[in-house]
């Protein structure tokens, strides 16, 4: 779970997910890894305070590197813990814990499972970017993924480790898109399971600060460049 300036809701979100882990996996070792991405508000302080008494919470504080970088660093931390499964979600309180089971019940059928925001409550700029990326992925890679960048995904731990090794360098703006493309091209069934997406009640949407055109152009260039490397990446995943 990446977190940036979510002081208004971070305590609630962390409590929801760690309570869920405790109830869902009472006899298993689980942890919620929160990557505090250089928050300028009190998010980091609140997380550090919660971690003292919450045994299912792991907090990593890092300089601001952007949402994608925080996601990748969270994945790397999970892989370093030899996690059997890794689930990623966001800290903005737009998802519900009940939907986890929809993905979990498919865990023996696929190593990479995505949710899908069928009814999405986001700013127009984000919805536009999602449509552009969906079309770009379909055109460039010949594969259709409903919500390739969704922060609600379940990945088998060893497979995630292989995927991370194949991420392009330098690190892309939206690494979750590349992970989804590689997973599907390697033969995994992503399922695209409909999940609940709530209105954002707190915090701010950082993507609005970016120039929309620059975001689209950068993502398109990264995806186009990656197309040249994709076949070799997929071969590596299958070995």
CA 105, 147, 13, 62 torsion: positive or negative? Answer: positive
Say what the pLDDT of residue 175 is.
Answer: 95
Read off the pLDDT band of 179 (50, 70, 90).
Answer: very high
Using a pLDDT cut of 90, give the percent of the chain over it: 72
Q: In what order do the strands lie in the sheet with 85-88?
A: 85-88, 153-156, 112-117, 193-195
- pLDDT of 148 higher than 60: yes
pLDDT digits (tens, 9 = 90+) for 2-24: 999 999 999 999 999 999 999 99
Long-range contacts from 45-49, C-beta under 8 angstroms, 24+ separation = 46/7, 46/10, 46/11, 47/3, 47/10, 47/14
> What topology is assigned to 2-237 in CATH?
Spore Coat Polysaccharide Biosynthesis Protein SpsA; Chain A (3.90.550)
Read off the pLDDT band of 125 (50, 70, 90).
Answer: low
94-124: burial string, b at 16+ Cβ within 10 Å, e else = bbeeebbebbeeeeeebbbbbbbbeeeebee
pTM: 0.90
- pLDDT of 66 higher than 60: yes
Using a pLDDT cut of 70, give the percent of the chain over it: 90
Q: Where are the domains of the chain?
A: 2-237
pLDDT digits (tens, 9 = 90+) for 185-221: 999 999 999 999 988 666 555 555 556 667 777 877 8
Question: Count of CB atoms within 10 A of residue 87's CB?
Answer: 19
Cα angle, residue 191 at apex, residues 153 and 17 outer, rounded to 5°: 30
């Amino acid at each position: 779970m990446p977190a940036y300036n979510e002081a208004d809701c971070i305590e609630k979100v962390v409590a929801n997910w760690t309570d869920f882990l405790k109830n869902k996996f009472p006899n298993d070792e689980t942890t919620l890894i929160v990557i505090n991405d250089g928050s300028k508000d009190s998010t980091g302080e609140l997380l550090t305070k919660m971690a003292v008494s919450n045994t299912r919470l792991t907090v990593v504080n890092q300089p601001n590197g952007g949402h994608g970088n925080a996601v990748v660093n969270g994945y790397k931390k999970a892989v370093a813990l030899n996690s059997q499964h890794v689930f990623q979600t966001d800290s903005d309180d737009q998802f519900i814990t009940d939907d986890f089971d929809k993905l979990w019940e498919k865990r023996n059928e696929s190593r990479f499972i995505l949710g899908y925001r069928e009814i999405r409550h986001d700013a127009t700029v984000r919805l536009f970017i999602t449509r552009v990326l969906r079309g770009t992925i379909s055109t460039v890679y010949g594969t259709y993924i409903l919500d390739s960048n969704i922060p609600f995904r379940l990945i088998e731990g060893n497979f995630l480790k292989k995927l991370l090794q194949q991420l392009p360098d330098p690190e892309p703006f939206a690494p979750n898109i590349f992970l989804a493309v590689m997973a599907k091209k390697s033969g995994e069934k992503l399922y695209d399971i409909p999940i609940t997406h709530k209105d954002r009640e707190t915090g701010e949407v950082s993507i609005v600060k970016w120039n929309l055109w620059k975001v689209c152009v950068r993502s398109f260039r990264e995806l186009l460049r990656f197309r040249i490397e994709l076949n070799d990446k997929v071969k590596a995943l299958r070995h």
